[in-house]
Structures are given as C-alpha cells and as structure tokens.
Structure 1
Amino acid sequence: MERVPQHVRRRIWRSRLYIDDVQEIVDLLGADSADVKISVPGYSTAGGADELRQFKNTTLHEIEIVRARPIYVSVDLLPNRGFIYGAEDDPTTVGLVNKVADILRPCRRWPSTIIFNTITFSVLSLGWSIFVLVLLASSPADVHWSAQKKLLLIASVLPILLLGGASFWIQLQRHTLIVCSRRFDAPTFWRRNKDSITLAIISTIIGALLGTVITIVVTKALG
C-alpha cells in the first residue's frame, strides 16, 4: 500500500517581528535558490524583507511568507493567530517548518507568553488551593471565620481573577505586530510604553493605598 503524504502545521502565538526576523525566515526558505514571496494586505514582493521599509509609518498586523517550489512551506501570521504550514511531512519539509518555528519562538509578545502559560495558571491554582486548605485546617468546624480570614480568602482569589482579566484584554487588544524597520532602528520598549507604564505604576500605588484603607476600615468595623 502506498503511503499518502500528510501536511505539517505549527501554531504561532501573537508575535512582534522586525525586518530582521522576516529576512531570516526568507533566507532560510530560499536557501536553495527557491523563490520566496512576502505578502502584506494589498501588496506582495519577491524582493526580500527590506521592501517592507516603505511601510515604516504603518502598523501591520498580517504577513504571509510563501515558498512555493519545490517544497511548499508558508508562514501566515494574522492579528490573533498564526500558522506555519508544510504541504508534506517528509523530513526536509518538517525540518524547514521546525526551523521557522525556532526563529519565531523568541518573537512571541511577552504578556501572551506569561498569561497563556499553563504553568502560570497551574501554580496560581495550586497556591490558592493550598492557602484555602491551610485556612480550613486552622479553623475549627464549629467556629465562624473571622473577618480577617474572610478578607484573606477573597484576596487570594484576586491573582486568578487578574489572570483571567489579563487574558481577556490580550484577546481583544494585543495583536501580532510587524515592525517595518530593523531591530536596532526601532524605538526602545521604554519609548514605546512609557506613558502606559507610568499610568500603571500610579494606578497600582493608588489601588494599593485604597485597598489598605478599606481593609483597615472593614476590620475595625467588624472587630
């Protein structure tokens, strides 16, 4: 019986790519003189990643890089998801797909790496479970919990709620981003985000102060 080739597919998380990253993929796919085409909404080129410089002042959230012959491999990045596709599962195609995945892995946008990490959620859930068990073990069954223990129980749920809220925000707002400049020419992280970081720090300080005041007031009122 003749074996039927199967396609190869790898999922890619939301990423931030620079021209350097795109060119590295193009060089890999075109290493044996194969034609590689780059496509962005409304445009396509076979002239390499430097052609993207014309979009320097434009925010791109989609890009497709295709090697058609002799081995078909495509990299398709969309705002909320992305895939690397190989037409067959022979060793050469699988090797190219895995090498492209290795190039894109460091490009994952860091909040999605943390928020959508199963280990992160598991650690928080385990910590919450242990905390609840400790509270239950330290409280006799026939004694009502004190206000402090109730507040601690509520506070222990907050990290999990924050994780869920952050995941929801990322699903709505944080997309794949193609930066149409070289990495060393691009603005630094601080220059891109200083307003948001400053606002987050101020909000955190205010929230912590309000939380402390509310906890003190409630404790005194109930105690």
Structure 2
Amino acid sequence: MKTVLIILPLVGLFFLVSGFLPLLFAPPSQLAISSISYENYFIRHKEVYYCGDLGTPKLIREASSKTFQVLTARFGHQELSSLYARDSERVYFKGKPVPSADPVSFKVLGYDLGCDKKSVYKKYQILTTDVKNFKCLDEYLSKDSKNVFLNEEIISGDASHFQFICQLQDLSCYKDRFAVYVGGKSYKVKDIEGFLHLEGRCFKDRLAFYTLDKNGMRESDLTLLSENLK
C-alpha cells in the first residue's frame, strides 16, 4: 500500500514536468509572439529563422548565425526589437534580404523604415538617396530636400515649403505652396498663402472658409462654419 502511495505522486510529478519542458525549451516560433515587441527572429541549430505574422517559421538561408543581429529602434518610450536585422553581409526585413543595403552603417528609423550611408529604405526598397536631408514628420509622412512621402508614395514635390498646420486627433495637417494635406490627402484651396486653422475642424484663407468632415475638406459658408465652431 505504501509503495502505491509513493508511486502515484511520482507519476503525477513526471507528467507535470514533461508538460512544461517543451515550453521551456521550445524555439520562439512555438510560443506566443508579441505583435508589439516585433521579436520575430530566432536561431536554432546554427540556422536563422523568421517567424511571420502567421507564426510559421521560415529559414533565412542567406543569414549567418554567427554574426546575426536583430536591430532595435525606439517605438514610443521603449527600445524594442524591430523587423530589421543584419549579419556581416546583408540587411534583412521580415526575413528577406534588402538589396544593396549596407549592414555596417544601417540603422532603423521606424517600423518599416531604415537607412544606411547611401540610401533610405522603405521595407525592401530604396525610398530616396538623399540621406542627409531625410526627416520623419510623423508615423506615415517623411521628406527629403525635394519630395514629401506618404509611406512610399510621393505626395508633394515642394518639400522646402511643406509646413505643419495643426494636429486633429490622428490626422496631421500640412500645406505647401500648392495644396493642403490632411492625413496625407491633398486638397486645393483658393488662397494657399493665407490658409490657416481656426479651431476644431474649421479653416479659412482670405477668400473662403473650409470645414473638414468624414468626406474630406470642403468649402463652407458662414452658417456651416458657425455650427462647426460650436
């Protein structure tokens, strides 16, 4: 009877430990991956893997495990692993090589934005070669000395006159010499030089008033304007 009582707890302990061991020694691809930290790379048996959005690990055949490094960047107030990585020969984004990127000088600028001494990259592609004058304006907008970009799309060729107007919750408002830009979308107004923000979603220039609603920016009369200012 004593033998049975001793064996039963030992059997239970064995199943408890055996249940946790796979979790303790499993590669990161088999664990829950945080979408915030972007820690999607791991090394196993001297091979480098990228674990994508679906949680399926993919071998990065070109990568060297000896020199592989996940690059970090500041997201908000935290220094976190990014989707960019490098070894001694290449730069990678989401596990795929970034053509022509220099691993020695490469640094992360944003979620899918990086640069080396020669070029600025959006994901895998060159965005601009004007590295010296490149600047991030917000999460989606950036510019160099000539163009303004919404992600990888050029929305203005008047970067030197591109200026901030106001912030409306998650919408950034800018203007250049030719148009007003709200959330990256351009709008023509009657007097761009005199265009300014009043309050809320109301604007004016020297010739007209404008309101911003779910359909975009449009010219408004004084009645509509006074209703929007309430």
State the TM-score, normalizing by the size of structure 2. 0.25
Higher strand share: 2
Q: Which has the higher contact order (CA 8 A, sep 6+)?
A: 1
- Higher-Rg member (1/2): 2
Higher helix share: 1
